């Protein structure tokens, strides 16, 4: 099943934040935002990977 919806950056950020805060079950977030599970997982993984890069850059800049 392919999801061709366009989501705003703000909506993506809110959905990802809810996943990371772990206050709701993934199933609830997927249903609330009408997102395919694999899409939400992909967004979350990308954010987590980029956070590591950003923290690494910040730490290097502070040295």
In this model, does residue 60 exceed pLDDT 90?
Answer: no
Task: Give the H/E segment covering residue 12.
Answer: helix 9-21
How many CA atoms, within 13 angstroms, populate the side-chain half-sphere of residue 26? 10
Q: What would the mean pLDDT of 34-43 be, rounded to a whole number?
A: 96
More confident residue, 13 or 62: 13
Stretch 1-25: mean pLDDT: 88
The mean pLDDT value for 24-50 works out to 95
**Whole-structure pTM value:** 0.74
Q: How far apart are CA 62 and CA 52, in angstroms?
A: 15
d(CA 42, CA 40): 5
When pLDDT is cut at 50, 70 and 90, the band that residue 1 belongs to is very low
Interatomic CA distance for residues 19 and 30, integer angstroms: 10
Q: What is the distance between the alpha carbons of residues 7 and 16, in angstroms, rounded to a whole number?
A: 12
């Amino acid at each position: 099943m392919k999801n061709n919806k366009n989501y705003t950056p703000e909506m993506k950020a809110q959905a990802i934040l809810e996943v990371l805060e772990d206050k709701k079950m993934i199933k609830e977030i997927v249903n609330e935002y009408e997102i395919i599970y694999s899409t939400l997982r992909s967004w979350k993984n990308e954010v987590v990977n980029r956070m590591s890069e950003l923290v690494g850059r910040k730490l290097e800049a502070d040295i």
